[in-house]
């Protein structure tokens, strides 16, 4: 299937390209160097690999034909949404065909009686939010990339977001999937059903499988009534421990806030440097807390949260009087990544996750690890669900520093796992974290996952080079 190219690299042969053009139309197949370059990387620093061809099928049948053709000829396939992946999950590691969903981006059906929305995979997350909220409904999963990410990408990665603690993640809102298997078979799993136990849960197996098992071609999402009101506050603490204790106390008091976000001192400093919004740079922690629901419940919860935050020594508590003020409070947290990204040429955003009881321990450990390896790591993230985003500002051209960054992150993953956490809470394993996966799930877990992969995709055409590494990184002894 591959001819030798002029520069010694294998490229798809003309016959195969024509076959794909025949399936989706010449206008939907691209092989120019410019096009291939555009899809050679995603949002992950330090990973790039050229695909051979980019194709934009117009419907499920075309996806099936493309996959079947690739499977017959062992051509790798990389399904790709908007490429916002942060773990090199959408880089064409082994070349091959990138499948885009820009021609499959329609809302198919809103079912107000069953509270479901059926969409094609190319629909933007933000489009779904706007579409349903205009009708008094709510689709809770809100990955930070939601303005440009697609629902297909969210499903492949089981995306989380700021509302995970109270509302759950993408998986909790997918009721049914249509998907194409590596052999071209089209399967339908789930339904507009609150309960369905007909066989294995294929739907959950595909969600978060990072394009390594099948290609999602349609999804039916669960909607819930839109919460009628919302309140927002920002709380500042001198010490990390006080902030962590306040977070624990809020939850121990049986209050589950809609948002419970955290920024460490380094992040506060950088945001204040760039935005000059009056953040206290001598404080170790900022919490952004929001509650939504019926007005009386929200008022009551926010009052209790206020009292708890004071009890644990808050330096300041700012409550938004209206949506405009709320948005300006959210700003600091929302701007964290973009401010950090301005510091240096390369930003590496990680998502080590721990049980929420371990947040203070984990944040301290991250700071100490950064010092140990002499790298700059700031931490912000979702305090309520223990999903932290230690973020390293570095320069990928500085090989020596990058080596230290990698060592620091390896140690951070190891500490997270030792605390009962995971190497990735919402970003996925991709190519980047594949050599750490065994630390979380063990050799037995890896073997089990590989056996499933092999059973479903015997020719390993689906996003090869992701999730499973050739070898597992050795764990070092962490002295703490």
At its nearest, how many Å lie between a copy of itself and the CB of residue 401?
Answer: 27
Contacts of 193 (CB under 8 A, 6+ apart): 175, 176
Nearer to a copy of itself, 35 or 204 (CB): 204
Backbone angles phi, psi at 202, to 5 degrees: -60, -35
- Cα 354 from Cα 34, distance rounded (Å): 41
Q: Report H helices in 276-431.
A: 295-311, 323-341, 359-372, 399-418
At its nearest, how many Å lie between a copy of itself and the CB of residue 212?
Answer: 8
Nearer to a copy of itself, 28 or 116 (CB): 116
Nearer to a copy of itself, 55 or 223 (CB): 223
Nearer to a copy of itself, 269 or 356 (CB): 356
Are 264 and 363 a contacting pair, CB within 8 Å? yes
At its nearest, how many Å lie between a copy of itself and the CB of residue 94?
Answer: 19
Nearer to a copy of itself, 96 or 143 (CB): 143
DSSP tally for the chain: helices H, then strands E: 14, 20
At its nearest, how many Å lie between a copy of itself and the CB of residue 423?
Answer: 5
Nearer to a copy of itself, 152 or 293 (CB): 293
At its nearest, how many Å lie between a copy of itself and the CB of residue 268?
Answer: 24
Backbone angles phi, psi at 58, to 5 degrees: -105, -10
Q: Is 342 helix (H, G, I), strand (E, B) or coil?
A: coil
- Cα 283 from Cα 286, distance rounded (Å): 8
Q: How is 228-295 classified by DSSP, letter by letter? A: SEEEEEEEEESSHHHHHHHHHHHHHTT---SEEEEEEHHHHHHHHHHH-S---TT-SEEEEEEEEESH
At its nearest, how many Å lie between a copy of itself and the CB of residue 93?
Answer: 17
């Amino acid at each position: 299937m591959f001819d030798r190219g002029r520069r010694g690299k294998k490229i798809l042969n003309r016959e195969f390209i024509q076959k794909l053009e025949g399936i989706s139309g010449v206008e939907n197949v691209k092989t120019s160097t410019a096009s291939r370059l555009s899809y050679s990387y995603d949002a992950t620093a330090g990973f790039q690999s050229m695909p051979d061809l980019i194709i934009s099928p117009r419907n499920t049948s075309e996806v099936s034909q493309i996959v079947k053709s690739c499977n017959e000829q062992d051509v790798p396939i990389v399904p790709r949404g908007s490429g916002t992946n942060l773990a090199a999950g959408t880089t064409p590691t082994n070349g091959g065909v990138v499948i885009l969903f820009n021609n499959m981006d329609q809302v198919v059906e809103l079912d107000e009686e069953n509270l479901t929305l059926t969409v094609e995979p190319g629909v933007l997350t933000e489009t779904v939010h706007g579409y349903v909220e205009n009708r008094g409904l709510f689709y809770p999963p809100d990955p930070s990339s939601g303005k440009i990410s697609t629902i297909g990408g969210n499903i492949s990665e089981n995306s989380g977001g700021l509302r995970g603690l109270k509302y759950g993640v993408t998986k909790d809102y997918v009721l049914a999937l249509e998907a194409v298997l590596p052999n071209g078979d089209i399967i339908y799993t789930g339904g507009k059903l609150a309960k369905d136990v007909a066989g294995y849960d294929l739907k959950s197996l595909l969600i978060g499988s990072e394009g390594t098992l099948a290609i999602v071609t349609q999804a039916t999402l669960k909607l819930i009534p839109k919460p009628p009101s919302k309140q927002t506050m920002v709380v500042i603490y001198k010490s990390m421990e006080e902030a962590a204790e306040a977070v624990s106390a809020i939850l121990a008091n049986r209050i589950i806030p809609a948002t419970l976000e955290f920024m460490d001192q380094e992040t506060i400093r950088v945001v204040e440097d760039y935005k000059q919004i009056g953040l206290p740079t001598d404080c170790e922690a900022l919490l952004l807390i929001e509650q939504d629901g019926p007005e009386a419940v929200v008022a009551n919860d926010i009052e209790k949260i206020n009292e708890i935050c004071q009890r644990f020594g808050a330096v300041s508590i700012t409550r938004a009087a209206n949506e405009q003020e709320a948005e300006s409070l959210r700003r600091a947290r929302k701007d964290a990544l973009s401010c950090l990204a301005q510091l240096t040429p390369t930003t590496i955003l990680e998502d080590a996750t721990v049980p929420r009881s371990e947040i203070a321990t984990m944040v301290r450990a991250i700071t100490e690890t950064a010092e140990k390896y002499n790298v700059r790591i700031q931490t912000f993230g979702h305090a309520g669900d223990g999903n932290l985003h230690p973020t390293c500002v570095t320069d990928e051209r500085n090989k020596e520093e990058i080596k230290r960054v990698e060592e620091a992150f390896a140690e951070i993953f190891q500490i997270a796992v030792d605390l009962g956490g995971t190497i990735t809470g919402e970003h996925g394993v991709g190519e980047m974290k594949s050599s750490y996966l065994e630390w979380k799930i063990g050799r037995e877990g890896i073997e089990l996952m590989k056996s499933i992969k092999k059973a479903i995709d015997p020719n390993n055409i689906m996003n090869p080079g992701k999730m499973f590494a050739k070898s597992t990184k050795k764990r070092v002894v962490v002295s703490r």
